[in-house]
Structure 1
């Protein structure tokens, strides 16, 4: 899959001329510092998993953290009481931890609320590992 890099902000996207807010990302440390302690711990646990895989781009922007290859496959978005973790998977996942599911041609987008690091347990690590290995 070919990616496109915006000539103005140097961000990469899965399709050419993708609509976006043309602003450079921020250092991940800055984004993490803006989170509550529980959100920061949860985000750091997810990022530790992502950093084990080559070819992933981790981009902190105003709305959250995007983890991508050619396209975004995992997002972390802060909410008032949790981080909303979303990921794309071709697998069908049935769990009470899934807060919301969207169907799409590439599979499903699953949303999980992360209140703290303890929510990034073996089950969630397994889902993310499968996503990072598959894409």
Structure 2
């Protein structure tokens, strides 16, 4: 994400978060599809992850709608709320990556499916990519940068 958007940085990071939460929800479906014999406990955890990502995406969309309707500079209070939400998305993605590592290491169904191992590794890398974008936004002053003049 580029930091030259000034006030729109808040909307841009919310757009990124919305996209990646949708991706992560879809990834839970992909894993369930490519590992049809996945253990029931892991299958259920993936369903729960999907629901959590969808709920987070809905919260993000509500913030985006709020920003678009406001038509004013983002208040420090709202900027803080957005930063907290993005922080939660970073944590959620990190927890999901940890779950994926556990799944890859402990699931017999995944271990016997080389394609699943590759796909799960790819999914984990994508979630880490999002975390990097979001952490850059959260870093000291990054979310408040103004475009160069």
Which TM-score tier does this pair reach, normalised by the shorter chain? under 0.3
Compare the two structures and name the one with the higher strand fraction.
1
Tell me the TM-score normalized by structure 1.
Answer: 0.26
Compare the two structures and name the one with the higher helix fraction.
2
For CA contacts below 8 A with separation 6 or more, give which structure has more relative contact order: 2
Task: Give the structure with higher Rg (CA).
Answer: 2
Tell me the TM-score normalized by structure 2.
Answer: 0.24
